[in-house]
Chain A
């Protein structure tokens, strides 16, 4: 599981690659932590290379979103594949995130 966070075009972009299962969740959460400090910028989570996600991963996404929204920021999901999207859909996450 790789997490790369870049500032790009004024947005904070997190590139996620690999399987975000429960085992990878703690590490990923830690890696994503910088996003919680972002202020005044939109957060884009690029899921192009995200192959797998379980509820542990979804909780990280939810935490980032709730944090960002408290600050008035936006969290966008980008490049999500069909399989992962299915998980998003069945859990209702597809409704709470914005997409780019």
Chain B
């Protein structure tokens, strides 16, 4: 069942056909019902008319004969009363009755007992057909006491003429029974005393035959009952005279049959619909004249309506077959009409599976299906085109994305990943974070240590995305390149600006903050190029005063200014890009400087000004503020905490030399002596000696113009950790630390004389640092004492 419903749901053709046929069926049912109802009524009326007509005809016929009998009897009675005393005349009257009316069965003129004194107890003039002749005889006898018989008693008791109940009379010669009924007229003398009865009998065998033959329908039949309900005509001959209409109701009460019996007994005329022998039948009944008998025609309903039923069944069969045929044809036609749709669906399926070049069938139709097919073809073509475009775009995008991913990785790779903490260094710890808004960003930060200086920068390229990232890469590498040879931020930035501006055709720019933190002293040199001023988190929270200058990349000739500050131990410098202050939430509100300060102050209060803690705290605050809003700009922060603890000086010695290299042995002796004091072994002592010699010789040779006398002071100081040599001269500013180093991998021929000195210094000492202070060149060389 489920399968059928599933099938119907799947097949439009079946569904549409079923609807159509369903409606057709309803219309047919209504129309046919009405038609059948009307036709049935007509048939019923026809049946009633037919039966009524038959009954009327039969009744009329009987009436006619009965009337003759009655007239003849009355005539005879009149004759009898003319000569009531002449017994023999009675025989004549009786005989002449039959002579005059040969179709009468018999005639008796019977008298009361001893009416004719000479005739004894019985006298009945009885005439009867015997074969072809008519015989008249005296009818009463010891064996036939007629005055106890119905025909005699009935008129006598009722005191009027009457018809007796029919009876079967045996005709002895032929041994056949005749159904006979008698008209009995009482004979009364002038004193109104009843003296006898004239009995005129009539054979109604013909009547029973006539009635039996009444068969308006093949299975209908007629019955005739007498006054007492006795059957005189019935198709079941065993019932005739043996049963009455009530007999079967005595054992099996049947109110309908009983009612019919009473109605017929009462001489009523009518029609009843009832069950007879278990079959619905119509019974039409009518009394037969004055005989007291009643005739009925029983017509089984199925019989009356058999023709009608046949017609109905035929029509219904035709309609049913027609509807089925209609259903079948509809399904076929609609299926055929919809076939293109199914093919279209299949093709669509094929297209959906990815075969866009599938060829659509051309139906050559202009109806809706044709239109659909056409539209579908257009759709397919468009689809193919779009898919092709999409493929290209996708592959391009994928390639770009892939490139971007690589670029992002490269960009991130550019940035320092390892951040020194207090576990790594005793002078500074640092942490930075860069979160690009897109795969690649324009923010940058960088730091590195050279000698005993921390070079760092943070910057923000105008714009975002790939152009910004390229610019950022340029900026960062420029920073590295330039700062390798320059130790002063203003000069670094100025050089970078010149370099970048020269090649900046896209008019991009970068805000930049470059700082150099002298780690031994905590002195910070910095240059700001249009960047946000860093926040200092130390004793309190404050902003590092910054001259804004202009961003890098505009004006190649701009001279950037240098600024200086002293950073106390424990102070954290928080640098950031405008991605922090301008971080936006869903309501387009910005994070703003105020919140930066609040977070920094809170961190300070909580003792969490260490770089990583501070930055994480700041990032959390930003995330909380921004919520689900999309990150609008790159967010970069860098925090630098100066943690250098100044050590106690154990020893301090100095020597002052002139700018004559011949004083080198003096220097070397001084250095070796100090090394010995500190306890360095010979090898380290020699390394330190060579390094200091190189530094001092440098000053001797180049600090002062040739021929000019100048001094060079070498101070040695020792604390618990390091041995420090400070070489001071008043010559022209010269930073050996930014000089190109010798390439130690070159062959002898390729190598140039020079550059070896600084290389040896760097290699032999732990740190080398140059500062220009008070018009003095101050070079510091340091060597740890404990690692020896």
Contact = CB atoms under 8 A, between A and B. Distances in A.
Interface of A: 19, 21-25, 52-56, 58-59, 62-63, 65-66, 69, 82-84, 86-87, 90-92, 95-97
B760 A55 contact: yes
A81 to B, nearest CB: 9
Interface residues of B, number: 32
A63 B697 contact: no
Contacts of A22: 661, 664, 693, 697, 700
Contact of A53 (B690, B697, B753): B690
A23 B701 CA distance: 12
A86 B689 contact: no
B759 A91 contact: yes
Contacts of B687: 86-87
A21 B664 contact: yes
Given A54-B693, A82-B683, A83-B682, A23 B664 contact: yes
A91 B686 contact: no
Given A69-B748, A87-B760, A96-B751, A23 B665 contact: yes
A90 B748 CA distance: 15
A85 B365 CA distance: 100
Interface string B314-338: 0000000000000000000000000
B497 interface: no
Contacts of A53: 690
A19 B665 contact: yes
A55 B757 contact: yes
B220 interface: no
Contacts of B757: 55
Contact of B661 (A23, A59, A63): A23
Which 9 residue pairs are nearest across A and B when measured between Cβ atoms? A92-B744, A23-B664, A96-B748, A55-B756, A90-B763, A83-B686, A22-B697, A22-B664, A22-B661
A23 B746 contact: no
B486 interface: no
15 contacts: A22-B664, A22-B693, A22-B697, A54-B690, A56-B661, A66-B748, A66-B749, A82-B683, A83-B682, A86-B687, A91-B756, A91-B760, A92-B744, A92-B745, A96-B747
Given A54-B694, A83-B686, A59 B744 contact: no
A91 B764 contact: no
Given A55-B757, A90-B763, A62 B748 contact: yes
A19 B668 contact: yes
B742 A90 contact: no
A91 B757 CA distance: 9
B89 interface: no
Nearest to A26: B661
Chain B interface SS verdict (over half): helix
A62 to B, nearest CB: 6
Contacts of A92: 742-746, 751
A85 B757 CA distance: 16
Contacts of B759: 90-91
Contacts of A58: 756
A52 B664 contact: no
Contacts of B663: 23
Interface in B632-691: 661-665, 668, 682-683, 686-687, 689-690
Contact of B753 (A21, A59, A95, A96): A59
Chain A interface SS verdict (over half): helix
Contacts of A96: 747-748, 751
A87 B691 CA distance: 10
B665 A21 contact: yes
Residue of B682, B689, B693 with highest tally of chain A CB at under 10 A: B693
Contacts of B742: 91-92
Contacts of A54: 664, 690, 693-694, 697, 760
A55 B689 contact: no
B149 to A, nearest CB: 174
A97 B689 CA distance: 24
B753 A62 contact: yes
Residue of A54, A58, A62, A95 with highest tally of chain B CB at under 10 A: A54
A95 B742 CA distance: 14
B661 A55 contact: no
B741 to A, nearest CB: 11
A64 to B, nearest CB: 10
Given A52-B668, A83-B683, A92-B744, 16 more contacts: A52-B686, A52-B689, A54-B690, A55-B760, A66-B748, A83-B682, A86-B683, A87-B686, A87-B690, A90-B759, A90-B760, A91-B759, A91-B763, A92-B745, A92-B751, A97-B748
A92 B700 CA distance: 25
A66 B562 CA distance: 45
A14 to B, nearest CB: 17
A59 B757 CA distance: 11
A24 B693 CA distance: 12
B725 to A, nearest CB: 15
B668 A21 contact: yes
A87 B756 CA distance: 11
Nearest to A93: B744
Nearest to B660: A23
A92 B687 CA distance: 15
A36 B744 CA distance: 24
Contacts of A82: 683
Residue of B663, B665, B682 with highest tally of chain A CB at under 10 A: B665
A92 B756 CA distance: 10
Contacts of A52: 668, 686, 689-690
Contacts of B668: 19, 21, 52
Contacts of B751: 62, 92, 96
Interface string B138-151: 00000000000000
